[in-house]
């Protein structure tokens, strides 16, 4: 059963959805309005953990936030790819979440500001994701010292970056941690309907609005845009977390099933009654704190920290 804190946050999440994509009884918001509304919504999500230093920097020519926990390792790094439907949000909006990951894992996290649609439709995001990963390798990190993580669209981009790296002959990182990954732009999973009433954040209308801008008339099943359709053989181990009340639940379950069938080492944690990317509420709900702790332990094991 969801905690009282998580139940109390549902209205806040519904308000976030309205700010990011509008409501059915109003004209669709402009891209600028979507971005402002979504950023404002993220301001009230989560608590910034203590003991993490955040520095603005660049990686592969992209703006980035470099977050380092007190006493953490600098020779291990997590590349983070933020969510937002490939249209909204940024490293700044996700700073509390990524700081939490840095502290839990005990190592550096670099969150990059990859290019967004509609100004930069697919494949701009995956081009930037691969460039950022290559840049970390160029800094001197070995592949086994790097993990990649991301949420929602950034979770899908995490998987797409692994596929793009493999196809380019670039060694895989130690692991990847997609949170509530969006890997099917069409929204064909059964949970799009069965969880529609329970999900306060993601629905068909919003996914279509952002998906159309992201694809911009291209192939909606391009495996680097919708990695559910990718050949997943040879990619890094995957640890996926997803909420049980998400319309995108089946994106996670189908991705994990396909990856396992391709011989990929996988782990899936479904958190009952949780909303889309509930981890952003760290410090506010116990389920988010539990999820971040699990990710931290997974990353410490895969990156040989401690």
Residues belonging to the active site: 152, 246, 276
Question: Nearest Cα to 157, choosing from 132, 195, 183?
Answer: 183
Question: Nearest Cα to 296, choosing from 112, 76, 93, 132?
Answer: 76
Terminal CA-CA length for the chain: 34
Reduce the secondary structure of the chain to three states and give it as a string. CCCHHHHHCHHHHHHHHHHHHCCCCCCCCCHHHHHHHHHHHHHCCCCCCCCEEEEEEEECCEEEEEEEECCCEEEEEEEEECCCCCCCCCCCCCHHHHHHHHHHHCEEEEEECCCCCCCCCCCHHHHHHHHHHHHHHHCCCCHHHEEEEEECHHHHHHHHHHHHHHHCCCCCCCEEEEECCCCCCCCCCCHHHHCCCCCCCCCHHHHHHHHHHHHCCCCCCCCCCCHHHCCCCCCCCEEEEEECCCCCHHHHHHHHHHHHHCCCCEEEEEECCCCCCHHHHCCCCHHHHHHHHHHHHHHHHHCCCC
């Amino acid at each position: 059963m969801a905690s009282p804190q998580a139940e109390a946050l549902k209205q806040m999440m519904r308000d976030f959805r309205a700010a990011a994509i509008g409501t059915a009884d109003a004209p669709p918001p402009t891209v600028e309005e979507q971005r402002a509304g979504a950023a404002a919504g993220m301001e009230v999500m989560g608590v910034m953990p203590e003991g993490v230093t955040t520095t603005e920097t660049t990686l592969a020519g992209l703006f980035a936030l470099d977050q380092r926990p007190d006493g953490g390792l600098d020779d291990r790094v997590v590349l983070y790819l933020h969510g937002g439907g490939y249209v909204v949000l940024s490293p700044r909006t996700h700073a509390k979440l990524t700081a939490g990951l840095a502290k839990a894992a005990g190592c550096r996290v670099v969150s990059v500001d990859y290019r967004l649609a509609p100004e930069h439709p697919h494949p701009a995001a995956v081009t930037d994701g691969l460039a950022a990963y290559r840049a970390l390798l160029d800094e001197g990190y070995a592949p086994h010292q790097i993990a990649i993580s991301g949420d929602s669209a950034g979770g899908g981009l995490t998987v797409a970056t692994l596929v793009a790296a493999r196809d380019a002959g670039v060694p895989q990182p130690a692991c990847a941690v997609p949170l509530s990954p969006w890997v099917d732009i069409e929204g064909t999973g059964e949970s799009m309907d069965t969880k529609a009433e329970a999900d306060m954040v993601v629905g068909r209308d919003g996914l279509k609005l952002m998906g159309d801008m992201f694809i911009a008339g291209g192939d909606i099943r391009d495996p680097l845009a919708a990695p559910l359709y990718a050949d997943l053989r040879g990619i890094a181990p995957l640890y996926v977390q997803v909420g049980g009340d998400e319309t995108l639940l089946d994106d996670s379950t189908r991705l994990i099933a396909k990856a396992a069938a391709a011989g990929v080492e996988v782990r899936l944690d479904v958190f009952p009654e949780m909303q889309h990317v509930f981890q952003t509420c760290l410090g506010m709900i116990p389920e988010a704190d539990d999820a971040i702790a699990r990710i931290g332990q997974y990353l410490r094991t895969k990156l040989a920290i401690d």
